[in-house]
Structures are given as structure tokens and as C-alpha cells.
Amino acid sequence: MLSPAWVHNGVKRGELEAANRGLAYGDGLFETVLLKRGEPLWLSEHVDRLESGLKVIGIQLDRGLISSEIESELSRHQGQSAILKIIVYRKNTGRGYCPDTHVGERLLMVSAGPSENPNWHGGVKLAICQTPLATQTRLAGVKHLNRLEQVLAASELKQRRVDEGLMFTRDGKLIEATKSNVFLVNNNRLLTPVLDEAGVAGIMRDKILRYAATNGLPVAQTRLGVSDLREADEVFVCNSVFGIWPVTAIECYQKNIGPVSRQLQKEFEELFLD
């Protein structure tokens, strides 16, 4: 069994300050990378997104340094299937919300990954979460450390014994699921929520958008709501850890696992299935 380990600023099991802005204020970003037999899936894309998001919140990233640290950590996990979590948060230099530095601290953690993926074939039932997502245009798309909304929504799912749930803004705009992005299929056209007010622009989401654009599959990022979910021919959720889960039901509305969902799964299955 893989024991969780961490590397802080290049030091294995290095000390973490109690005055940690990532812990205290969520002043940082993170990435979650799937390792399949020791090989990271889409690592470059994850670091690209990390770098882009850090520019939004004003934290500097030495890409060469963190890439070297990641490579060193991966060498300790050759052949293992696991999850690599990359966190960059602002260095603490004083008390209070207002930052007075752009320097980032780096934290890498490796833990056990999913041992199997039954929802790939069998599909998943979705709940509609009661916890709304706040709108924040400046942070829309960014995978920041402030995940309390997702924590509350995931608690709802645990009580209802459902694997995943959909999240909306207070005015009813569909944004994403608690840990994944969502796509609808209507008349062989892919639809996914536009993420200009909230949500995380996922790596798997981007891969699907690119695949659709280069393979003649009509696709649009648009405003969606509950009525669109009801009318959709297919629905699926996706992220870069579990891949693509087709949806079999949303609350009491039954859904079919259709050809577009299966087509996309076939394209990516060798990355997620053993």
C-alpha cells in the first residue's frame, strides 16, 4: 500500500509553517495529476494551467524548479498508479489578508489512486446539489484552494449515497459537478457550461473540446440549466482522474448511455482503464 508522502520546497517531508497562507486563506492553487504505472497523465497541461492561474492571483512560479522537483518525486514512484497533488501557495511574510509578496511555496503530495473505475462502464447517477456556487468572474476557471462550496456539496452526496452531483449558481446556471465538468449531448451536438462566472476549467474538459473541434463533432460552450439537462439525449461528467462517466439518471430523470459518450470513452479509455 502506498504511504502518503510530501515534498515541501524540494525537501522530502519538509516542515510546513503554521502561518501558512494556503491553509489560512486559500491563497494558492492546486493540480491533481493521475499517475498510471508511474507516468503522469497530461503533466505539461496541468503545469500550464497552474502557471496561468497563478498569474491571475499574483503568485510567481519558477516552472523549471517545480518541474525538476516533480521529476525527482516521480522517480520515487516508478511503476506505481497513484495521484500526484501539486500545490503552490503564497509565502507568508506577515499577518492579515493583504499579500506583500509574489513568492510561492511549493508542495507535492503522492497518495494512492483509484483501484478501479466501475462507473466508466455502468454509468453514474447524479444529484442536484442544494449548495449554490458563488459567481466570481475574476477567479472563474481557476482551480484555487477555496473549495468549501465543493466540501458542502460533497457532504450532501455522502448523505444521499450518490457518487456525483451537479452545481448551479444561485440564479440557476449549471456550472459543473462537485469534482468534474459536465457535458450534454443534444441532437449529436456537445454542450458544456461556459465558465465565465464560476467553475474550474478542467484538463479533461479541454481535451474533449479539442477532440470535438478536430473530429467534426459540433460543440458549444453555452448557458445551461435544469431544463437543458431534462431534454438532453445524453449527459456525462469528466475529469482527469476518472476520465468520463456517462450519466444514467439525474434525480428522478432517467438517461441513456448514448453513442457520443461511448465514442469519447473509446478515444480516451487506454489512459484510464487497465
- Spatial contact of 94 and 116, defined as CB atoms under 8 Å apart: no
pLDDT tens, 227-271? 999 999 999 999 999 999 999 999 999 999 999 999 999 999 999
pLDDT tens, 69-109? 999 999 999 999 999 999 999 999 888 999 999 999 999 99
In 3D space, the residue among 95, 66, 94 whose CA is nearest the CA of residue 8 turns out to be 66
Sorting pLDDT into bands at 50, 70 and 90, what band is 115? Answer: confident
4, burial (CB in 10 Å: exposed 0-12, middle 13-18, buried 19+):
exposed
CATH class of 5-112: alpha beta
**The listed CATH number (1.10.150.20, 3.20.10.10, 3.30.70.270, 2.40.50.140) that belongs to domain 119-272:** 3.20.10.10
pLDDT at 149: 98
Of all residues in the chain, what percent carry a pLDDT higher than 90? 87
- Domain extents in the chain: 5-112, 119-272
User: Given the C-alpha cell 463533432, which residue does it identify?
Assistant: 217
